[in-house]
Structure 1
Amino acid sequence: MWKLLVVEDESIVRMGLKYMLDWEKQGIAWQAEAASGDQALDIIKQERIDIVLTDIQMPGMNGLELAKEINRLNQNIKIIFLSSYDSFAYAKEALRLGCIDYLHKPTMDEQELQQAFSKVVTMLEESHENKQPAVAPRDNSSLLRLLDSYTFPHDLSCLGPHMQELQNGFWLVNFRRRDDAVKEKESNSELRFISLKHLIEEYVMKTWGGLVFHREQREIIWLAPAKPKLDETSLDRAKYLEGIKQKMLELLNMIVMYSESRLFYDVNELPDAYMETLMKLPVNEQSDNFVARRAKEFIDAHLLEELNLSLVASRIHVSPSYLSRIFMREIGENFSDYMIRNKIEYAQRLLRESSMKVYEIAAAVGYMNPHYFSKLFKERTGMTPLDYRNR
């Protein structure tokens, strides 16, 4: 395992980075953390370190000065820089010092971080002739498909060993940060969200079990079995959720809100459970979210009909411009992209599970011109409908 040292003066950012990737699957051991350049140098002098991930802006010795000292001590250590500023001057100096990558914190995501470390691991493997298997990072996209009736998978293998316990009943909880809470720095937003997800997951796994996943940086979804993992008949659901809320406030100074579904007994009803949580989110705290979810519910119920933004807006009694703005912010994509994505995913399902002809499927999802449908399908999936069916 390649040993990693993370140098960042904010502890909440270090925590977010720690749980942003499954480091062991990358062939990397999270060896040590430092809050300053001086601490980092002390660690490097005492322990074997292969990779340093360091912020550039820190009190005292900054990341660039630290890199100079690292190069003086051990030129085999690979360095990746983090910065809150998209500065050409910083990037130029970082490249001069031989850094492997320069990541912009406000826009950095899991994929970008994983790619940077894959590059570093490849370089270390080549230089040390010690090949390690490359393993893809953890991905929760297959679990997200369970939340929408149009993308619900035929194969439920993504539930793994949890399938059996969920067949005895389950409930869904949707956690979100309060929109009216104090805003954190933009550069730390994603890392704080990852910290929140990790702590919720750690908390519920100890006593209740189930699965925890997320939708972008908006929602943390907990799919919980009907009965807790520990045999505690006194474990009250409402008190348990309030306990999670209080724990997040104590540990992360984050105000979270949540909504829960009733008990369900058929895993095929997961989309219904999810929609129930969305519609129960407190209206007085997130009215924009409530409107966006009402719109999503209407679209999902009428997806195969002829819909447009103005029609949906009129049905939920808001203006089209307002709906367009908050739909993008709350759902994570614009109205038309959401419609197209869901129609294409539903078409994929029909191609897999039915013998319908392509023109019939095109008509079924609202495209009377099969040539236009095929063109759109290829743009979205990289293959024609027939290629998709025959793959």
Structure 2
Amino acid sequence: MYRVLLVDDEPLARMGLRETFDWEGSGYRVVGEASNGRSALPWIERGEVDILITDIAMPVMDGMELMRQVRESFPSVKIILLSCHSDFAYVREGIRMGATDYLLKPTMQPTDLKEVLDKARSQAEEERRIRDLVEHREQVRRREELEKAFARLLLGEGTEESAAVEPPWLASGYRAVVAELDGAARLRSEEGGIYTEILMEELQESFYEEYGGEGIALRVGAEQLILVLKSTDGLERLQAKAAERGCTLTLGVSGPAAGAVDFRRAVREGREAARLRFYEGPGAVRPYRAEPGGGGAPQSGRGAKEPQEALLAALEAQTAGGRAEEAASLLDELAALWSEQRPSPAEVKRQARGLLAALRRPADAGSEAAERIEALQGMESLEEVRLLLQEALRSLQEPGEPAAVPEDAGLHRRIVSQALQYLGANYTRNISLQDVADHVAVSRNYFSELFKKVTGQNFIDHLIHLRLEHACGLLRTTTLRVYEVAELSGFNDVKYFSKAFKKVMKVSPADYREKRPSAGEEGT
């Protein structure tokens, strides 16, 4: 409700204004009355006034001087002048100085007052909108400047640049928190890379909403944020924001750091702590522990690798000799050694790839082996890797099948071509990766890998681009509302549609429609 101050040296005039208009019902509240400009100023100085209605001719301080002082010191206050016919020269001067409008006291009606008040309110709302937009853009500019400086610092560059923009709170102490998106491979496969990017942008924005000006959030890769913050209070709320979006975050928290000089060390500690997800599970806040066996550096030197390499060689020998029970026992022993020594996830996966190659049957030249290798890359826990290797070992013990003819590139292209035809006819329907894989009679994981190999694009992202192209056509050629365009293009959520559209097209659906590009300009 907008607050109004009435200023007039005539008590009857003030009473008439107050009593003949439904202030509350019209969305306004009279906060006070004053008989001259000087007595009106305290209300304005206390920030209690949005709209000032003032007479021009008054003793002590007239309306023109009051207006001059208010415009100079409190420009957001809207001013409406009250005048008689003889004051019209002053009215013109007042309008020139920035008054919203004026009212003639002898002929003023309640409808006139409402019209002018609503005009003042509209001006105030528009100015506030512009002011908020300018302030937001300035915040974003400063934020991006900081992010770029610290991204360069992370690469070992720009020390002087980062010092120039270093926020004051950084010198007094901070923590680096590495936020890893859990289940990222599954999300990319099921929802697409565009969805994952939007999700990480939303989480980055949630961080800034939580920490305001005392935090920095860097996007690193597709599924990681590096957070720099003065206090770790509020990390649980950030995880809650992720849960609202149907995902979880593992947060690795560094030890104390101070100044830009400690930044790379703090990030390294945060990453080492976050890496414990591979051994201890996702979705937790994990502080860095420097002591051996803690969240510090894993044992990955040559001395640590030698027992692992020896077990790998023995396991491969048992597999080649057909000694399944001995091989299974050695696999359990290797998994226990990994768990104890905690090499990096990349090292575990390197060794696991070698084992998968050793465990592959000669007949298994196609989809099954490829699926396992593809699945291994996205695994986030040691238990997942162990189960995958156990599955490969069990499949080796099953009766052999006739050697398969290796799949050629022509067959791959035919499968994907058939899938693209199906997509072209059905992309506006609620179809999934599994639906298309069933249509071309291959497994879901194998089709996902094959589609990306042939087209160079994730299946879901390709589907989203098809839908966005269709949406562009509807926006150009129809007057359908945005939510109707989203629904007819295959999107169930108009909010996600708008974000995906802006992510790919670089403009909102409404702005795209307004610009109405020609067919040659619309590429996605």
With normalisation by structure 2, the TM-score equals: 0.24
With normalisation by structure 1, the TM-score equals: 0.32
Greater RCO, 1 or 2 (C-alpha within 8 Å, sep 6+): 1
